[in-house]
Structure formats: C-alpha cells, structure tokens
Structure 1
Amino acid sequence: MSPAITVGVISLLNCKQKKTSSKTDIDMDKVVAEARKNWAGNYSYKAKTLRTPNTVEELQDLIKESVKQKALGSKHCFNNIADSPTEQISTKNLNRLISIDEDAKTVTIESGIRYGELAPQLQEKGYALHNLASLPHISVAGACATATHGSGVTNGNLPSAVTTIELVTADGQIVELNREQPDFYGAVVGLGALGIIARMTLDIEKTYNVRQDLFQNLPVAELQEHFDEIMSSGYSVSLFTDYQNDTVSQVWVKSRTDRKLKDFGSFYGASAATKKLHPITAMPAENCTDQMGVEGPWYERLPHFKMGFTPSSGKELQSEYFVAKENAAEAYMALVGIKDVIFPQLMISEVRSIAADDYWMSPCYKRDCVTFHFTWKQNWPQVRKILGRIEETLSPFGVLPHWGKMFTLEPATLYSRHKKMDDFVLLAKKYDPKGKFRNSFLDLNVYRT
C-alpha cells in the first residue's frame, strides 16, 4: 500500500494486521521471566513477569490492571532503573513510524522504535534527526527518559528533539503533553516515574550527509589550551583516551557536508588516521561506521557503531559523568591525576559535549556540558571503588551521572545538584499517586524513601 499524503502529513503506519486487544489475549501474553538480562549481561531483571503489548490499547489495559510495573525498552541501561518488583512491560512491539508532518517538520512514532529502525525510514522520505547517540540500537523513548545524547557543542541531547509525548498514566488513560505545557519539561526525561510513553513526536529536518575524520595522539597540552576549539571542530566531536599518556589516543570529528568544512591539514599536533579505527584500538573496526572522510547519510555516520553489529565491546560496564563545559579542561586534568586508579579496569573513556536544555532531570538542565564516559571491564566490585574516586575527584565541578549507567553518588548529593528534583517528585506523585511505577531505583535516588 502506497503512503497517503493529506494536508502535509505522510502516513507511514504499518498496516499489517495484529491481533485484537482483549483481556484474554493480554493474559495469554503473560510470561514468567527466566534469567532475563540487560544488553551487557551485567544485570538480571528481578521482575517476575514480562508482558509485551502489540498495540497502545493493550498497553493501556495492562497498565490499568497491574499493581506494580515498569517499562522495558531496548535493555541498554546498566543499572536497575527499568526493573520492577513484580512486572515489566516491554515496548519492543510498539515500534512503528506513524506519520510525518511535512509542514511542521515532525515525525510521530510509537515509543519502542529504535533509532536504527527509525532513521532509514526518515532517510527514505528525505528527512533526518538533529543527532544520534553512539549506538543506534537504543529505543527512542528509553533514550529520552534517561537524557541520552550524542555530541556537539550546539547539539542538545536526544530529548531536545521531542515536541509531544502521549503518556499512559497509572489509570490507563493517555495524557498528551507538549512544549507549551510546564509538565512537559518534567515528563520527557521522566525516568519512568510518571507512566509509560506510548507515542512521541520529534522535530526533523531535511536529510544531510556527514563525513568522519579521525586523528590520533592529540597532545594533552593542546587539549588544555584549546579545549573549546577542539570540541567545536566539527558538528559532533568525540575524544577517546585512557588518561595514561601525554596524548589523547583518538579524536573523531563528524562534519556535516552541507556546511562549510574545516581544513584538517593540521589538527593541534595530532596526526590523521591512516586506517579505520575502533574506539578501543585493539579491537577490529568493522563494527564501526565508515571513516576516512568518506561522505555518507547522517544515520550511518553520527553513531560510532553500525546497527547490525555488536556495539562497543559487548561484555562491559558503563558509567558517565557530566560537568559544566567551562570546567571541562580542568576536570580532564583532574582525571589524569587519578589515572593509575582508573586504568586497571578501563577499556576506554570518551569525552563529548552537549548543549544545555530545559528538562528538569537532565544533567544538562540550563547548562552546556561535557561528559566523561567510561567503558569498564565487567568487574563491579573493583569498578565500584573506582567510581567513588572519580565522583570525589569531579565533585568540585558539580558532577552528575547518567541515569542509566553505573554510579555511586549519594541520593542527597543528587538532590542538591538536580535543582528541579523537588518539583519532579511532586510531578511524579501527581501522575502516579499510588506509586504504580515506583521501583527500588526511584525509591533510593528520587523519592529517597
């Protein structure tokens, strides 16, 4: 069936028939969770059941019937933020692109669609998103709920593209929130505390191409002196380092070819890469998106890893810490100061930049940020000790963690540094007064009870 265009809206709803919703059908979907783990395998979900609705109506019925539940997206969180004491509801089958509004330059989707599934469909219609994360394997709603991001000094995080959400609340009703409503800014990066997002609308723009230029062995002295210039050298820039030497091992510069390209004849003392590289230099680069200045579609360059391949190293732990951009160079050197503590469990660390946003629970709320991302060996007892040292070292800079990764900051510290935490707790109680969506992660880090 060809797409129908009406008043500037392209309908792309998948018209394959699905089974009709009924309480009997939903009960048949109820399964006992058996050794279910997250993507990296470091966390086993404790929820007794997993249910997978095929329609928004089924999702509404499930939420209304359940006592305690939590949304489960693409399982890319490294902690228990998506777990539940009783039941999880997977959004993986809510994965359709519903429509494109050509006049408003927006796309409406179901919440469980992954960026790697959405992007080619947008490209086919001549559109793009403003940015993507390092991996395209993550679901849109899950990424936005935890303030996940790509890189770029002028690029906001992934939630910054959201214009509207349709939230299924504890009573099974749908509440629509948009940028004109104050609650919207507490609900988009909602940590799963308000309900389960059924549909979302995102800003889109005309498609564009990107090239990746990689450089090796950037002198740390140059980074200290020219941090802002280096991070501004492309549309999206990443630094990869182990903090061990006087150089940053790799710099990935992703440039939009529809904008003026910079001359990379000399790059702050770093040398141009002569072959494709994996961020972890010892690993083969075939899993990575094309490099060496080869131009390609936005969705095949902005992520570091290809959709059809295992991203990063696979078996790993991850943590990530946000500091204000003006403190970035000083924070980097502070981490160099504890390099001997970090190195034994480190696979690689990535440094990225993100523009400020207005989302209450975003670490970039009202401040431009730089993040220090760590990919660790899967040795939690040792990594936990290291995280404590990193958090202590970055404490003078008001450090905040990524909600979906590993951290050990005390709840009181999170409260003091997230300026809208009190407002968020009131908002969560407004939409979920009986705590249907609460879990141990929220009880510890948000509700503190």
Structure 2
Amino acid sequence: MSLTNWASTWTFSATEVARPRTLDDVRRTVASSDRIRAVGTFHSFNDLGESAALVSLADMPADIELDEIAATVRVAAQLPFARIAEAIDARGWALANMGSLPHISVGGATATATHGSGLGNGNLSTSVVGLDLVTADGGVLHLDRADPRLPGAVVHLGMLGVVTHVTLAVQPRYRVRQDVYLDVPWSEVLADPIGVFGAGYSVSVFGLWGADTVQVWRKTRLADGEHGDLPATWRGGTRASGQRAIVGEDTDNVTVQGEPGAWHARLPHFRFDRQPSAQGEEIQTEYFVDIEDASAALAAVRALADRIDPLLLITELRTVAADELWLSTAYRRTSLAIHFTWRRQPTEVAALLPEIEAALAPFAPRPHWGKWFAMTEIGGLYPQFAEAAALVRELDPAGRFRNDYTRRVLGL
C-alpha cells in the first residue's frame, strides 16, 4: 500500500499507519517503535512526516472540551479546525484566526506554525496554551503556561512526541466580512506594505510576479450591528461584485465574499465542504521575512518574475504578528509571508528554489517547515534554537521521533 500525502507531493516509505483507539494504545505503539512519526491530515509538501512507522489518531475520541471560565478549549489533535470552530461558535466562542484551509488538523498546523493573515494576528500556534503528548518512553506529559518549556514545545515539528490533545485560547465569537479588490497596482504593495496589509483584520494579496496588478482580499472584523461596507475603489483597485476565485474560474470552493458572516466562514479562503483549488496538482513554497524588509524583499523576487511565473499557479502574500515561540517562523519579528503555489513540475521548481533563496538571502528568510525549500542547517535563523534542540534531546534522547528531514534541516 502506498501512502500519499494529502497534497500528493510526497509518498511515504512506510506501508501502514497504526490507528490506535485509546491513549494506552498510543503509548504502546510509541514504546514499541524504534522510529515513529505522527501524521494528521497529510497536508505537507516535503518529508517532514517521513518515518519507518507512522501513527494516526484518526480513530481516537474526537474530544472538544470548552472551559468558558478559563476561555480555553481542549481538543483532540486530529480534529480539523472547521470542526472545532463550528463547535465553539455554537456556544458563543471563537478562535483569534484561521488558516486558508479549515480542513487541516489542529495538531499538524500548530506543530508547524501554520498561519492565517493579519498584522496583529499571530500564527495558529500562538493560540496554544497547553499540550498533552506521549513521549519517547511511552509516558504522558502535560505542558501548560506554567511550564517554561511550553514556548519551545508548541512548534515542535513532531520531534517531541505524539501530541494527543491541544488546548487553545478562545474569545467571544465575532463576525467578518470579506471583500476582494481587483486590479490593485503592484506599486501600491511595494510602496506601502504596512498600509496595504493593515487595511483589514486579515489581508491577503494574490497575483503573478510579472503582472502589473494584484488582487487584495480584505477581511474586516465587525462590531455588533456593523455591516462593514467598504468603498467601491481603493488604492487604484475596484471592489469585485460577486464571488472571485483564487486560481482559475472555480468560485464554488471559496468562502462567501461581499456580506458579513461567522468568523469561521470568512477567515479561511476555502469552504470546508469543498475541495481546495489545485488539490493534488500543486507544490507549495513559502518564506517569511521581517515586515520592515517587505518592499525590498518583494522587489528582489519580482526581479525573477520571468523565471517564476511560467511555473506558478498563484502567489499569495500575507502577514503574521511576531511571537515568542522558539521555532515559529514569526519568532520575534512581525513577518511578511511570501507564498508560491507551483504547478506540479518538481524538477523545474527544485532548480528554481535556490535562486529565490539567494535573492531573499539578505533578508534572512525562514522557510515554512512543511513546504518545499532548498535551505539546510537553518537553526541559526532562530535565536533560541540551542534551547529548542536541548528540549528535543531531553524528551527524546534516542531520536525516536527524528528523521532525515530533522537531520538535514536542523542537524538533529
């Protein structure tokens, strides 16, 4: 049996996935394995999750335990964000942000610093206030805000154990309106990135590098009674009427535009009950640079437009607020995320990535942990990498949860 990643860009060498039903099953599975990794919704584009043995928690109880006094929710790590969002919204609560895809599991997304957008919004990992995990010896460890190791454990890349539950901070539910502006000149983004990305609670820019204009998706957080009407024109662009697609002409899979709705039905780009665009026919790459370097970094990539655009389906630009999580791609710097959704031409994409990384090198780019990149030994990009490495060795001294990826990328 061939196990293929959700995005169809990585086929695992393991031929089976253990599917425990209880916590004791997880403990026995881990303790009896020399090398093992947990898998979630298989939304990774590289060998981060590769291992001789794999374990999925898909058959474990789908716990969602809301604590309204503490304003937290403890959830099973295998659950997709959409399921969690629907459950807490029904009781009047919300998460601070969502990623583009509500389909991804909370365990995998928070382990890799996956994110939405917003100058004031941290990545999805910043909502984590507690972790329950099975460690290399089959023991059970709970980490919370009282434990000084938590900032080093949240973005763990699967190196600390099998996370069974994640506890997230919640807040009162709110509404969001999403509007798309067409034909905004690239020059507006280059001249004033803070102004463009600060124009909404969550803002994304879509386009090609050699084009003259881009699309800007503005998501406005609404106070009670607000409708959130935006001007018909903004920064040289025109507000779209009706639905707009991200790639191609399919508007059926994107969330509703032009009218207010629940936070979890507007913050993602894609609907949970539809397939995302280009699923299985894409490769993804993403680099994070300091927002202060945004204009120069974007200009450096635009200089490669004639090399990039023939291989590209779409680029998305987003922002992520700075945080204190040791291996977060936004650690201590509010960041511009430069994302490439490539056509499925792996040889050509792999050859191009070193050129893009060379262009971005002056800005100390941090690649997304779960997407394609050519960089190796990148621990030096993280000021607390030594502490993170020490935590990995403390909880997994024999390297049961490590693999070729962790050795190549982090030297662990």
- The TM tier, using the shorter chain, reads over 0.9
Residue in 1 aligned with 2:268?
303
Residue in 1 aligned with 2:379?
415
Of 124, 133, 138, 1:167 maps to 133
Q: Verify: 1:336 aligned to 2:286, yes or no.
A: no
Residue in 2 aligned with 1:19?
none
Of 12, 24, 49, 1:57 maps to 24
Of 40, 46, 52, 2:7 maps to 40
Of 244, 249, 253, 1:287 maps to 253
Residue in 1 aligned with 2:116?
150
Residue in 2 aligned with 1:200?
166
CA–CA distance in 1 between the matches of 2:61 and 2:333? Answer: 32
Residue in 2 aligned with 1:97?
63
Matches within 5 A, 1:367-386: 367-386=333-352
Residue aligned with 1:192, SS: coil
Measure how far apart 1:262 and its partner are.
7.3
Residue in 2 aligned with 1:237?
203
Measure how far apart 1:403 and its partner are.
0.2
CA–CA distance in 1 between the matches of 2:60 and 2:405? Answer: 25
Residue in 2 aligned with 1:15?
none
CA–CA distance in 2 between the matches of 1:112 and 1:223? Answer: 37
CA–CA distance in 2 between the matches of 1:443 and 1:223? Answer: 38
Q: Verify: 1:123 aligned to 2:89, yes or no.
A: yes
Bigger Rg, which one: 1
CA–CA distance in 1 between the matches of 2:295 and 2:147? Answer: 37
Check 1:321–1:145 CA distance in 2 against 1; reply closer, same or farther (3 A cut): same
Tell me how many residue pairs correspond in the alignment.
409
State the Cα deviation string for residues 118-143 of structure 1 (Å, max 9, x = none).
11111111111110000011000100
Residue in 2 aligned with 1:14?
none
Check 1:95–1:214 CA distance in 2 against 1; reply closer, same or farther (3 A cut): farther
CA–CA distance in 1 between the matches of 2:352 and 2:61? Answer: 38
Matches within 5 A, 1:53-92: 53-84=20-51, 86-92=52-58
CA contact (8 A) 1:233 1:262 kept: no
Residue aligned with 1:285, SS: coil
**C-alpha RMSD of the superposition:** 1.4
CA–CA distance in 1 between the matches of 2:379 and 2:171? Answer: 36
State the Cα deviation string for residues 40-75 of structure 1 (Å, max 9, x = none).
211111124310112222111211222210001100
State the Cα deviation string for residues 258-316 of structure 1 (Å, max 9, x = none).
27757434311111112311111x2311010001x211111111000011111131111
Residue aligned with 2:233, SS: coil
Residue aligned with 1:120, SS: helix
CA–CA distance in 1 between the matches of 2:403 and 2:189? Answer: 42
TM-score after normalising by structure 1: 0.89
Q: Verify: 1:434 aligned to 2:401, yes or no.
A: no
Moved more, 63-72 or 94-103: 94-103
Residue in 2 aligned with 1:185?
151
Output the amino acid matched with 1:441.
Y
Identify unmatched segments of 5+ residues in structure 1.
1-33
Work out the percentage of aligned pairs sharing the same amino acid.
37
Moved more, 256-265 or 314-323: 256-265
CA–CA distance in 1 between the matches of 2:383 and 2:191? Answer: 31
TM-score after normalising by structure 2: 0.97
Measure how far apart 1:225 and its partner are.
2.3
Residue in 1 aligned with 2:105?
139
CA contact (8 A) 1:74 1:92 kept: no
Moved more, 87-96 or 361-370: 87-96
Identify unmatched segments of 5+ residues in structure 2.
none
Output the amino acid matched with 2:290.
A
CA–CA distance in 2 between the matches of 1:288 and 1:36? Answer: 28
CA–CA distance in 2 between the matches of 1:93 and 1:208? Answer: 32
